[in-house]
Structure 1
Amino acid sequence: MAEQDLTPVFQLQRMYLKDLSLEQPNSPTILLEQEQPQVDIQLTMGAEPVADGIVEVTVTATVTTKIGERTLFLVEAKQAGIFEMRNIPDEQAQGIVGVVCPQMIYPYLRAIVSDVCTRAGFPPILLAEVNFQAMYEAQQAAAAAGVEGAEGATLN
C-alpha cells in the first residue's frame, strides 16, 4: 500500500478561460483608416499553488493593434488549467509546470484570441507556435545568471 502512495501523479483536473477582455477605444472613427495596423503580442505565464498537490497554471496573451499612436483594438485572454501533481521531484515538477502545462493550455488560448478578433469584426490574429521548452530553459539560465527580473519570469 505504501508503494501506491508514492506513485507519481500528473493530471489535468480542469481547463478554463479565466479572464477575457476586448477594447476598441477609438471605434468607430479608426475603423475608417486605410493604414495597416501594427500588431504587438505579449505572452506571459504564471503558476499558483491552489492546495496540496494542486497547481493552477495560466498563460496570458495580450494583443495590441495600433494605427500610428491610436489603438485599434486590444485583446487580453488568460487561459488556465488546474493540475494535480503528487510525488514528483521538485526539479521535474518545475519543468512540468514551466513546459508541459503551458503546452496543454496554449492551443485553447490561440483559438480564443483568434475567435474574439473575428467576432469583433477584425481579421483573426493567429498566435505563433511557442517552444515552451526553449522559453523555460532561457528563464532558468537567466535566473541562474542572476539577471534582474528573471525571478518574475520563473515559473514556480
Structure 2
Amino acid sequence: MTTTQRRGRRAMMTPQEIDAFLGGQRTCRVATSGPDGRPHLSPLWFVWDGTALWLYSLVRSRRWADLRRDPRVAVLVDDGEEYGELRGAELSGLARRVGEAPRVGAPCLELDTPERLFARKYFGGDTMPHDGRHAWLRLTPDAIASWDFRKLPRRLRP
C-alpha cells in the first residue's frame, strides 16, 4: 500500500491517524465504473481492519454488477463541516469478493474479523446478522491519499 502523496503533504495523515480515522467513520462513498464507462457513486457501510477496507454490499446492486465486471474501485471516507475541519482518505485498488454471495452465514475464517468488527460498529454486538442479500468485498488498497486540514496553519485556511 502506498501512503505517500506529492501534493498536500503538510495535511497528510500518518498511518496511525488513517487507522484511527477509518476505524471511527461510519459511511464511505464507493466509486465504480459502469459498462459504458460512466462512474457510479454510492454510500456504503464499511469496516477497516488496519490493512483492508471491508464493504458489505447488496449483491443485486449496480455497484456489485460493476465490480464483477471491473474490480477497480475508489472509496472516499471524509468528515468535517468547516474548511479547517475537513479530513479524509481516498483508497483505491481492486475489490475482491470474499465468502459466499449472497452471505447466509456459512463458516468462513477470513470473514471472522470483519464480521465481528461490523457487528460491533453497526449492531452493537458480536454476532453478524445475515440477510441473504449482502456479500463481502475486500479492498486492499494499492494507494491511499489522505488529508487533515486541522494540521494546516491558520494562515493557510480561508
TM bin (shorter chain): under 0.3
Q: State the structure with more CA Rg.
A: 1
| TM-score, normalised with respect to structure 1 | 0.26
